[in-house]
Structure 1
């Protein structure tokens, strides 16, 4: 990473990005306070939804006030996707925001953070079998960042594989920080957002039970179940799930297009939507094959894991990552990480000089 690029990023952040970030989130918190009290006074249904629509529109606009890859991307995910979908559910007295007697602080945290409260605390160590703990993931992430310094000596396909792990680990760490903040504010245990997706044995396992579980939880009541209810009345229960699955993947693709727009600020190429359409269609084929063999025959677990990881990576190289790479979101993101690292080093250096002077 060139020193001049890092300096430009640092200068830009000093000139107002952090200030804009604070203003964006203060606006979001104020809007959620309004929704909280509106939900207390308005009956569920059209009236409450109409009251929430201006906030939904605001949440779609707010990420455009940010320009750094990390801040605009995470803010877009938290507000434009999770918070808006949760507010739509709340308008009809559904979803996590409809918990009786929920406090304002908990309402805000549940609305804009990718968390779900656990009913009971899990026994210590009950989830750690075969998993990598967060500290090791943070170390792996740091090592990946260091590898980019030697990018010119590494084959591009290997870099793409590294980038897959980079995306996963960065999301894991960002969501872990958000969950930790909520844990500190609310004093509750929180469910994990990922369940080791690299151990997936099928696409159904990957998308339904392991990858970004908060998105799965929010898409199921907002898209999958309503479409399933309608399509089953027309096609019957045997075939009604197919339109529901495809609708869920289409909505996910469109929301990813929106997040990518926040990151890149360029006209969509619809490659991301094609990625999710492809995975939705392949998932339907997988479900049909499982029904056909009726669980009489299964692939060995390690074979299923290799095939699933390989399919996700190959299709990601083809359709998911190119738009990010064309707009240099990866370079911007690395520059921002380097900028933060340089800033922290300068702070510690200044403190050290102050202590020893």
Structure 2
């Protein structure tokens, strides 16, 4: 009887805390997106559909404020506040991954709208990921969390930042892969990969366009890049129209990430994250400008190893300078690691109490 009481206390504490809030959030998202799905079937594209979606968009902006778990805040603000809202804005004008309602059932619509996934197309590049690869990265992630949790006081700050950058990458890739696997198993649909070994990037264009968080670029391209490029052609011509489109896309991405960082730290924006993305856009713009202006008779071959060192080095330096300081100030990464420790302790408590119950 005492074992049952302990089990009830453990489960009650968990359910009344993090999981209870997250369950309510998920239910709110499902109801809201179902409303958008059926509204989209009735209403024609344009202003009417957009006005109909506005209450949902505002709700999605407010949802992360009711969550205190940094991991759940990060996932919610990225998947719902950022991507789902962008998808709904495009859907209002019958564009983007949600536009073809005749081909999307309600469950598929909910999955594509509410999760950072995209249906696979024939043009999708093959990603070099496997179950073994994910397992290896999962073990390395667990190792980094253990090292950071137990020995962070004895490790140089630069190494800690390097560990955090790897931690963010593995957390995103594994988390998104799990979400995609669940959708694939439940709905039987093929999905595009989210990452494609970004540490092998040979240029900023390769990193941001083909390897890192591919879902975001797939959403921002029709939302920002293509309209700005189309407008710029009339001013700069076909050759240079891509440059302001690239900068505009990175500025918007920076502002969106600034909002995500606000949810994580609940502190006044410092605009460091926005400047990080502005620098990435400037670097990518410079790359493309050099390629377009380069004399075709003079070809400079850069070895891949040098190109990778330049690319990853630029990302690390700018990330250490501008991207990670706001996360460190609000202790978002430390809190995230601590939550993993708390979750593991909860699992161990459940097994301990369950074992005691069976032993009786």
Q: CA deviation at 1:353?
A: 2.3
Residue 208 in 1 paired to residue 209 in 2? yes
Q: Is the 8 A contact 1:224 1:244 kept in 2?
A: yes
Q: Which residue of 2 aligns with 1:354?
A: 357
1:341 aligns to what?
344
Structure 1 residue 189, shift from structure 2 partner: 2.4
**Residue 263 (structure 1) shift:** 0.6
The C-alpha deviation readout for 1:266-300, integer Å capped at 9, x for no partner, is 01000000001111111111111122334822310
- Whether the aligned pair in 1 keeps the contact of 2:124 and 2:192 (CA below 8 Å) is no
- Alignment partner of 1:296 is 2:307: no
Deviation digits for residues 86-107 of structure 1 (CA, Å, limit 9, x no counterpart): 1111111111111233111111
Alpha-carbon deviation of 1:356?
Answer: 2.9
Distance 1:256 1:117 in 2: 24
Match of 1:165 in 2: 166
Distance 1:61 1:129 in 2: 35
Q: 1:101 aligns with which of 100, 103, 114?
A: 103
C-alpha distance in 2, partners of 1:131/1:205? 24
CA contact (8 A) 1:116 1:190 kept: yes
Range with bigger deviation, 150-159 or 36-45: 150-159
Residues 64, 263 of structure 2: 8 Å contact kept: yes
Equivalent-residue separation in structure 1 for 2:161 and 2:238 (angstroms): 41
Q: Name the CA distance, whole Å, in 1 between partners of 2:30 and 2:180.
A: 17
Which whole-Å CA distance do the structure 2 matches of 1:283 and 1:104 have between them? 39
**Could you say which residue in structure 1 is the equivalent of 2:62?**
61
Residue 117 of structure 1: aligned partner: 119
- Partner of 1:98, secondary structure, is coil
CA contact (8 A) 1:131 1:196 kept: no
Equivalence for 2:5: none
Aligned to 1:138: 138
Aligned residue pair count: 346
**Where in structure 1 are there 5+ consecutive unaligned residues?**
1-9
1:241 aligns with 2:242: yes
Q: TM-score, with normalisation over the residues of structure 2? A: 0.91
Deviation at 1:13, TM superposition (A): 5.3
Structure 1 distance, partners of 2:356, 2:43, is 58
Q: Which segments of 5 or more consecutive residues in structure 2 lack a partner in the other structure?
A: 1-10
Moved more, 216-225 or 54-63: 54-63
Q: Report how far residue 185 of structure 1 moved.
A: 2.0
Which SS does the other structure have where 2:116 is aligned? coil
Cα distance in 1 between the residues matched to 2:49 and 2:132: 43
Q: For 1:59-102, what per-residue CA distance to the aligned partner results, in whole angstroms no more than 9, with x for missing partners?
A: 11111110110011100111111111111111111111112331
Shift in Å at residue 15 of structure 1? 4.2
Judged with a 3 Å threshold, the aligned counterparts in structure 2 of structure 1 residues 132 and 282 are, in CA distance, closer, same or farther, namely farther
